[in-house]
Amino acid sequence: MEERRKETVIRNTDVADHYFTEHPKSKPRYGLVQTSLRGRRFEFLTASGVFSMRRVDLGTRLLIESMVLPAEGSVLDVGCGYGAVGIAAAVFNLSLQVMLVDVNERAVWLARQNATMNGAHNVEARRGRLYEPVNDIVFDCILSNPPLSAGMETVKAIISHAPEMMTSKALFQMVVKSKIAGERFCSLFEEAFGNVKVSARESGYRVLVSKK
Protein backbone atom coordinates (compact mmCIF):
# COMPACT_ATOMS: atom_id res chain seq x y z
CA MET A 1 0.00 0.00 0.00
CA GLU A 2 2.81 2.38 1.01
CA GLU A 3 4.67 1.52 -2.24
CA ARG A 4 1.58 2.29 -4.34
CA ARG A 5 1.17 5.69 -2.69
CA LYS A 6 4.82 6.51 -3.37
CA GLU A 7 4.43 5.57 -7.04
CA THR A 8 1.42 7.86 -7.42
CA VAL A 9 3.33 10.78 -5.94
CA ILE A 10 6.20 10.27 -8.37
CA ARG A 11 3.80 10.15 -11.33
CA ASN A 12 2.08 13.34 -10.21
CA THR A 13 5.40 15.16 -9.94
CA ASP A 14 6.30 13.98 -13.46
CA VAL A 15 3.09 15.40 -14.84
CA ALA A 16 3.75 18.79 -13.19
CA ASP A 17 6.94 19.31 -15.27
CA HIS A 18 6.43 20.76 -18.74
CA TYR A 19 9.32 20.71 -21.19
CA PHE A 20 9.68 24.45 -20.56
CA THR A 21 9.82 24.14 -16.74
CA GLU A 22 12.84 26.13 -15.52
CA HIS A 23 13.88 23.75 -12.74
CA PRO A 24 12.29 20.32 -13.35
CA LYS A 25 11.54 18.61 -10.06
CA SER A 26 10.78 15.13 -11.41
CA LYS A 27 13.50 12.51 -11.12
CA PRO A 28 15.04 12.36 -14.61
CA ARG A 29 14.59 9.24 -16.72
CA TYR A 30 17.34 9.22 -19.33
CA GLY A 31 17.25 8.14 -22.95
CA LEU A 32 19.68 7.97 -25.87
CA VAL A 33 18.62 9.02 -29.35
CA GLN A 34 20.84 7.76 -32.18
CA THR A 35 20.02 9.25 -35.54
CA SER A 36 21.29 10.50 -38.87
CA LEU A 37 21.01 14.19 -39.80
CA ARG A 38 22.16 15.53 -43.16
CA GLY A 39 23.95 12.23 -43.71
CA ARG A 40 25.93 12.27 -40.47
CA ARG A 41 25.41 10.14 -37.33
CA PHE A 42 24.54 11.90 -34.07
CA GLU A 43 23.86 10.65 -30.53
CA PHE A 44 21.83 12.69 -28.08
CA LEU A 45 21.40 12.04 -24.39
CA THR A 46 17.80 12.96 -23.53
CA ALA A 47 15.68 12.97 -20.39
CA SER A 48 12.13 13.23 -19.15
CA GLY A 49 11.04 16.82 -18.58
CA VAL A 50 12.77 17.88 -21.82
CA PHE A 51 11.19 18.30 -25.27
CA SER A 52 10.95 15.17 -27.48
CA MET A 53 13.02 12.73 -25.39
CA ARG A 54 12.33 9.65 -27.57
CA ARG A 55 13.35 10.94 -30.99
CA VAL A 56 14.42 14.03 -32.85
CA ASP A 57 11.11 15.81 -33.48
CA LEU A 58 9.97 16.06 -37.14
CA GLY A 59 10.00 19.87 -37.03
CA THR A 60 13.50 19.87 -35.52
CA ARG A 61 14.64 17.49 -38.26
CA LEU A 62 13.19 19.70 -41.02
CA LEU A 63 14.96 22.76 -39.59
CA ILE A 64 18.30 20.91 -39.42
CA GLU A 65 17.96 19.45 -42.92
CA SER A 66 17.11 22.84 -44.48
CA MET A 67 19.02 25.39 -42.39
CA VAL A 68 21.38 27.74 -44.20
CA LEU A 69 24.54 28.37 -42.18
CA PRO A 70 26.98 31.26 -42.52
CA ALA A 71 30.51 30.47 -43.68
CA GLU A 72 31.84 31.94 -40.44
CA GLY A 73 30.70 33.87 -37.37
CA SER A 74 28.17 33.21 -34.64
CA VAL A 75 24.95 31.19 -34.53
CA LEU A 76 22.25 31.11 -31.85
CA ASP A 77 19.82 28.24 -31.20
CA VAL A 78 17.16 29.82 -28.97
CA GLY A 79 15.05 27.26 -27.10
CA CYS A 80 17.71 24.61 -27.71
CA GLY A 81 16.24 21.71 -25.68
CA TYR A 82 18.86 18.93 -25.60
CA GLY A 83 20.70 20.75 -28.36
CA ALA A 84 20.02 18.95 -31.66
CA VAL A 85 19.72 22.06 -33.88
CA GLY A 86 22.68 24.05 -32.56
CA ILE A 87 24.95 21.03 -32.19
CA ALA A 88 24.23 19.96 -35.78
CA ALA A 89 25.06 23.52 -36.95
CA ALA A 90 28.31 23.43 -34.97
CA VAL A 91 29.33 20.03 -36.35
CA PHE A 92 28.52 20.95 -39.97
CA ASN A 93 30.68 24.06 -39.77
CA LEU A 94 33.38 23.76 -37.11
CA SER A 95 34.51 27.35 -37.71
CA LEU A 96 31.22 28.74 -36.33
CA GLN A 97 30.78 29.81 -32.71
CA VAL A 98 27.44 28.35 -31.65
CA MET A 99 25.45 29.51 -28.63
CA LEU A 100 22.61 27.41 -27.19
CA VAL A 101 20.02 28.95 -24.85
CA ASP A 102 17.14 27.37 -22.96
CA VAL A 103 15.07 28.25 -19.93
CA ASN A 104 15.07 24.62 -18.71
CA GLU A 105 18.18 23.80 -16.66
CA ARG A 106 17.92 20.07 -17.43
CA ALA A 107 17.87 20.85 -21.17
CA VAL A 108 20.96 23.04 -20.85
CA TRP A 109 22.82 20.33 -18.93
CA LEU A 110 21.92 17.77 -21.62
CA ALA A 111 22.95 20.18 -24.40
CA ARG A 112 26.41 20.51 -22.80
CA GLN A 113 26.81 16.72 -22.58
CA ASN A 114 25.61 16.34 -26.17
CA ALA A 115 28.00 18.95 -27.53
CA THR A 116 30.90 16.97 -26.04
CA MET A 117 29.48 13.59 -27.14
CA ASN A 118 29.20 14.80 -30.75
CA GLY A 119 32.59 16.52 -30.90
CA ALA A 120 31.09 20.02 -31.11
CA HIS A 121 33.80 21.94 -29.23
CA ASN A 122 32.60 25.22 -30.77
CA VAL A 123 29.40 25.25 -28.65
CA GLU A 124 28.45 27.07 -25.46
CA ALA A 125 25.14 26.50 -23.66
CA ARG A 126 23.61 29.09 -21.32
CA ARG A 127 20.44 28.92 -19.22
CA GLY A 128 17.92 31.75 -19.20
CA ARG A 129 14.89 33.28 -20.86
CA LEU A 130 14.78 34.27 -24.51
CA TYR A 131 17.79 36.44 -25.42
CA GLU A 132 18.68 37.47 -21.84
CA PRO A 133 21.74 35.17 -21.45
CA VAL A 134 23.26 36.42 -24.73
CA ASN A 135 22.28 40.09 -24.77
CA ASP A 136 25.95 41.08 -25.14
CA ILE A 137 26.31 39.25 -28.50
CA VAL A 138 24.99 39.76 -32.04
CA PHE A 139 24.56 36.72 -34.27
CA ASP A 140 25.07 35.95 -37.96
CA CYS A 141 22.24 33.42 -37.84
CA ILE A 142 19.41 32.61 -35.40
CA LEU A 143 17.68 29.22 -35.45
CA SER A 144 14.63 28.18 -33.45
CA ASN A 145 12.07 25.46 -32.97
CA PRO A 146 9.94 27.64 -30.68
CA PRO A 147 8.09 26.62 -27.50
CA LEU A 148 4.49 26.90 -28.72
CA SER A 149 3.25 25.16 -25.57
CA ALA A 150 4.77 27.96 -23.48
CA GLY A 151 2.34 30.40 -25.16
CA MET A 152 2.29 32.79 -28.10
CA GLU A 153 3.75 35.68 -26.06
CA THR A 154 7.06 33.80 -25.75
CA VAL A 155 7.09 32.91 -29.45
CA LYS A 156 6.21 36.48 -30.47
CA ALA A 157 9.06 37.79 -28.30
CA ILE A 158 11.53 35.40 -29.98
CA ILE A 159 10.50 36.80 -33.38
CA SER A 160 10.09 40.50 -32.55
CA HIS A 161 13.41 40.83 -30.64
CA ALA A 162 15.42 38.78 -33.13
CA PRO A 163 16.48 41.71 -35.38
CA GLU A 164 18.21 43.54 -32.52
CA MET A 165 20.24 40.36 -31.83
CA MET A 166 21.46 40.00 -35.43
CA THR A 167 24.16 41.42 -37.69
CA SER A 168 23.13 42.98 -40.97
CA LYS A 169 22.05 40.41 -43.62
CA ALA A 170 21.87 37.63 -41.00
CA LEU A 171 19.15 34.99 -41.41
CA PHE A 172 16.44 34.16 -38.88
CA GLN A 173 15.13 30.61 -39.43
CA MET A 174 12.20 29.14 -37.49
CA VAL A 175 10.25 25.90 -37.93
CA VAL A 176 6.51 25.98 -37.25
CA LYS A 177 3.54 23.68 -37.72
CA SER A 178 1.99 24.39 -41.13
CA LYS A 179 -1.51 24.60 -39.67
CA ILE A 180 -0.59 27.68 -37.68
CA ALA A 181 2.21 29.01 -39.87
CA GLY A 182 -0.05 30.68 -42.42
CA GLU A 183 -1.01 34.32 -42.15
CA ARG A 184 -0.35 34.59 -38.42
CA PHE A 185 3.36 33.75 -38.37
CA CYS A 186 4.13 35.30 -41.73
CA SER A 187 2.74 38.64 -40.55
CA LEU A 188 4.86 38.47 -37.37
CA PHE A 189 7.97 37.88 -39.51
CA GLU A 190 6.93 40.70 -41.88
CA GLU A 191 6.45 43.09 -38.94
CA ALA A 192 9.87 42.26 -37.49
CA PHE A 193 11.94 42.04 -40.70
CA GLY A 194 9.87 43.38 -43.59
CA ASN A 195 10.33 40.08 -45.46
CA VAL A 196 9.62 36.35 -45.11
CA LYS A 197 9.81 33.23 -47.24
CA VAL A 198 9.13 29.52 -46.77
CA SER A 199 12.41 27.64 -47.32
CA ALA A 200 11.15 24.08 -46.67
CA ARG A 201 7.93 22.19 -45.99
CA GLU A 202 7.38 18.56 -44.99
CA SER A 203 5.54 16.34 -42.49
CA GLY A 204 3.12 19.11 -41.50
CA TYR A 205 5.89 21.63 -40.75
CA ARG A 206 7.41 24.54 -42.60
CA VAL A 207 10.53 26.60 -42.12
CA LEU A 208 10.09 30.36 -42.29
CA VAL A 209 13.13 32.52 -43.07
CA SER A 210 13.65 36.27 -42.80
CA LYS A 211 16.75 38.29 -43.67
CA LYS A 212 17.78 41.29 -41.60
Ligand X SMILES: C[S@@+](CC[C@H](N)C(=O)[O-])C[C@H]1O[C@@H](n2cnc3c(N)ncnc32)[C@H](O)[C@@H]1O
Q: Please choose, out of 35-43, 118-126, 143-151, 183-191, the segment that lies near ligand X by the rule CB under 6 A.
A: 143-151
Q: DSSP states of 103-125 as a string?
A: S-HHHHHHHHHHHHHTT-TTEEE
Task: Name the amino acid, one letter, at 77.
Answer: D
Q: Which is nearer to ligand X, 85 or 209 (CB)?
A: 85
Instruction: Return the sign of the alpha-carbon dihedral for residues 56, 58, 62, 65.
Output: positive
Should residue 85 be labelled a site residue for ligand X when binding is judged by CB under 6 A? yes
Under a CB-based contact definition with an 8 Å cutoff, are residues 113 and 85 in contact? no
Binding track over 12-51 against ligand X, x by CB under 6 A: -------xx------------------------------x
Rule CB under 6 A: is residue 81 a binding residue for ligand X? yes
Q: What is the DSSP string of 7-66?
A: HHHHHHHHHH--TT-SS--SPP-EEEEEEEETTEEEEEEEETTSTTSSS--HHHHHHHHH
Residue 6 or 115: the one with the smaller Cβ distance to ligand X is 115
Spell out the residues 6+ positions from residue 87 whose beta carbon is closer than 8 angstroms to its own: 42, 44, 98, 100, 111, 114, 115, 118, 120, 123
Q: Which of 93, 112, 94 is nearest to 104 (CA)?
A: 112
Q: CB 106 → ligand X: shortest distance, Å?
A: 9
Which part of the chain contacts ligand X (CB under 6 A), choosing from 79-87, 159-167, 185-193, 204-212? 79-87
- In the bound state with ligand X, the residue whose beta carbon lies nearer, of 7 and 180, is 180
Residue 66 Cβ, how far from ligand X at the closest point, in Å?
13
By CB under 6 A, name the one of 42, 79, 98, 196 that touches ligand X.
79
Binding site for ligand X (CB under 6 A): 19-20, 51-52, 57, 60, 79-81, 84-85, 101-104, 107, 129-130, 145, 147, 150, 154
